[in-house]
Amino acid sequence: MGLELLSSPLQQPGVAPPDGVLIRTHDLWKTYEMGDTQVHALSGVSFEVQRGDYLAIMGPSGSGKSTLMNLIGCLDTPTRGEYWLNGRLVSELSDDELAYIRNKEIGFVFQTFNLLGRSTALHNVELPLIYNGTPAEERLQRAREALQRVELGSRMHHRPNELSGGQRQRVAIARALVNNPSLLLADEPTGNLDSATGLEIMALFDRLHQAGNTIVLVTHEHDVAVRAHRIIHIRDGKIDRDERTR
Ligand SMILES: Nc1ncnc2c1ncn2[C@@H]1O[C@H](COP(=O)(O)OP(=O)(O)O)[C@@H](O)[C@H]1O
Ligand SMILES: [Mg+2]
Judge whether 148 lies within some domain: yes
* Ligand 1 atom closest to Cα of residue 32: 4
The domain total for the chain is 1
C-alpha 84/C-alpha 49 separation (Å) is 10
Contact 88, 101 (CB under 8 A): yes
Judge whether 85 lies within some domain: no
Judge whether 57 lies within some domain: yes
Judge whether 138 lies within some domain: yes
CA distances from 160 to 151, 153, 157, 201 (A): 16, 15, 10, 17
Judge whether 156 lies within some domain: yes
Instruction: Please give the residue range of the domain that contains residue 220.
Output: 51-77+93-244
Instruction: Give the CATH number, domain containing residue 240.
Output: 3.40.50.300
Calculate mean pLDDT across residues 129-149: 96
Residue ranges around ligand 1 (CB below 6 Å): 32, 34, 39, 41, 59, 61-67
Ligand nearest to the backbone CA of 64: 1
Judge whether 178 lies within some domain: yes
pLDDT band at 10 (very low <50, low <70, confident <90, very high): low
- Half-sphere exposure at residue 92, Cβ-oriented, CA atoms within 13 angstroms: 5
Continuous segment of H or E residues that includes residue 231: strand 230-235
Helix, strand, or coil (residue 118): coil
Q: What is the whole-number distance in angstroms between the Cα of residue 3 and the centre of ligand 1?
A: 30
Mean pLDDT of the residues in the chain:
93
* Ligand 1 atom closest to Cα of residue 60: 22
C-alpha 4/C-alpha 7 separation (Å) is 6
Ligand nearest to the backbone CA of 72: 1
Calculate mean pLDDT across residues 107-114: 94
* Ligand 1 atom closest to Cα of residue 234: 22
Judge whether 203 lies within some domain: yes
Beta strands in 95-156 (DSSP E): 106-109
Question: What would the pLDDT profile of 179-222 be if each residue is shown by its tens digit?
Answer: 999 999 999 999 999 999 999 999 999 999 999 999 999 999 99
Judge whether 45 lies within some domain: no
